[in-house]
Chain A
Amino acid sequence: MVDARKVAVTAVTAGLCLPLALFAIILVPIPGLPAASGFWIPAGFYFVMTLWFGVWGALGGHIATFLAMGYFQGFTLQVWADGALGDLIAPLVALVAFKLMGARPELKNRKDRIAWLVGVPIASLVCGLWVHTVNLFFGVITWPFWWVGVLTYFIGDSLAVFIVGTPLLRSLTSYVKQSPMYIWRD
Chain B
Amino acid sequence: MEKGKVRTFFTYVDERYMLVRAHPAVKIVSLVVLNVIPWIIEAPAPLAFFLASLLLAASLMKAPLSKLRNYLPYLLLVAQAVVLSYVLGSRIPGNVVFIEFPWGCYVTDKTLLYMASVVLRISSMLVGSTLVFLSLRDTDVVYGLKSLGVPFSAAFAFNLALRFSALFLDDYARVRDAMLLKGAKLDAGNPLERAKLLSRTAVPLMVIAVRRMQDLSFALELKGFPPSGRRTFLYQFQWSRFDAAAFALLAVATAGVVVAKIVSPLLSFPGWPFV
Chain A residues close to B by CB (< 8 Å): 2-5, 7-16, 18-19, 23-36, 38-39, 41, 44-45, 48, 60, 63-64, 67, 70-78, 140-145, 160, 163-164, 167-168, 171-172, 175-176, 179, 181
Contacts and interface: CB of A to CB of B under 8 A. Distances in A.
Contact of B126 (A3, A16, A71, A176): A71
Interface of B: 31-32, 35-36, 38-39, 73-74, 77-78, 80-82, 84-86, 88-91, 103, 105, 118, 121-122, 125-126, 129-130, 133, 153, 156-158, 160-165, 167-169, 172, 191-192, 194-196, 198-199, 202-203, 205-207, 209-210, 212-214, 216-217, 220-221, 225-226
Given A34-B82, A75-B129, A176 B210 contact: yes
Given A12-B209, A74-B38, A179-B210, 8 more contacts: A14-B165, A32-B89, A44-B199, A45-B202, A48-B206, A144-B89, A171-B203, A179-B213
B225 A144 contact: no
A2 B226 contact: yes
Contacts of A181: 213-214, 217
Contacts of A23: 195, 198
Contacts, number: 203
B213 A8 contact: yes
Contact of B165 (A18, A141, A143): A18
Judged by DSSP, the binding face of B is helix
B206 A73 contact: no
22 contacts: A5-B217, A9-B213, A12-B212, A12-B213, A14-B161, A16-B164, A29-B77, A30-B81, A36-B81, A39-B191, A70-B129, A72-B126, A73-B78, A75-B35, A75-B129, A144-B105, A163-B196, A164-B199, A168-B203, A172-B203, A175-B207, A181-B213
